[in-house]
Amino acid sequence: MITNIDINRKGLKMTERCWNSHCTNEGKTDVYRWILTDSLGMSCGKVCKDCIDEQQAKYKPVIFDDPHDYRQHMAECGENIDSDY
Ligand SMILES: [Zn+2]
Q: Residue 65 Cα, ligand 1 centroid: separation in angstroms?
A: 22
Residue 57 buriedness (CB in 10 A; 0-12 / 13-18 / 19+)? exposed
Sheet of 13-14: strand order equals 13-14, 33-37, 43-48
| In the chain, where the domains are located | 4-59
Q: Measured in angstroms, how far is the CA atom of residue 74 from the centroid of ligand 1?
A: 28
- Bridge partners of 35, per DSSP, are 13, 46
Burial class (CB in 10 A: 0-12, 13-18, 19+), 50: middle
- Ligand 1 centre to CA of 47 (Å) is 5
How far does residue 21's CA lie from ligand 1's centre (Å)? Answer: 8
pLDDT digits (tens, 9 = 90+) for 25-79: 988 888 888 889 999 999 999 899 999 999 999 999 999 999 999 999 989 988 6
Comparison of pLDDT for 82 and 56, the residue scoring more: 56
* Contact status, residue 54 vs residue 44, Cβ threshold 8 Å: no
Q: How far apart are CA 59 and CA 8, in angstroms?
A: 19
Residue 4 Cα, ligand 1 centroid: separation in angstroms? 16
